[in-house]
Structure 1
Amino acid sequence: SMIYIFATEGRVSMHELLITIFLLLTSPITALFIAKVHLHMRERPDTLPKPEDSEGWASFEADGPARGVRDVMPVEPGSPDKTR
């Protein structure tokens, strides 16, 4: 479509060009997320082959300690609210 408009009218469709650039930039990231979701839904770390180094699979390992996350105790019915 972009080539046809350029060949027949001699102009570039910026709308189509921006959509094409957006898709080319975001599709590798989307594919990575889809692959990671598939890995986490279908596989367990103990069923995967061991990596060559002593570390585990990066997808299943934490990057470091969680920051800004607090432990939340479940509140049982009838108990006072302890989140204040």
Structure 2
Amino acid sequence: MGIPEERIERLLPLAREAIVAGEHDRARTYVRRAKRIAERNRARLPREFERKTCSDCDVYLRPGVTARVRTRTSRVVVRCLECGATHRYPFS
């Protein structure tokens, strides 16, 4: 694992802590910084990172606070409460 991947891995817990503290703008800054690092270094964002952040408004998705999570037949539906974007992920 290289330096960019390590930095991206460190930013996810920081974004989570910021959401817990109620600082949505700071969490958004951490998510945007991680995406920028991935872009510059042609690194892929981890699946956990992509699923826990909104791709439209860059907020950390925490169920009940910034996201609504519902399960449907063979998929999970996550709706961002900040911008209203919906993301669907398969599961078995």
Q: Classify the TM-score, shorter chain.
A: under 0.3
TM-score (norm 1): 0.26
Give 1 or 2: higher helix fraction: 1
CA radius of gyration, larger in: 1
TM-score, normalization by structure 2: 0.24
Say which structure, 1 or 2, has more relative contact order (CA 8 Å, 6+ apart): 2
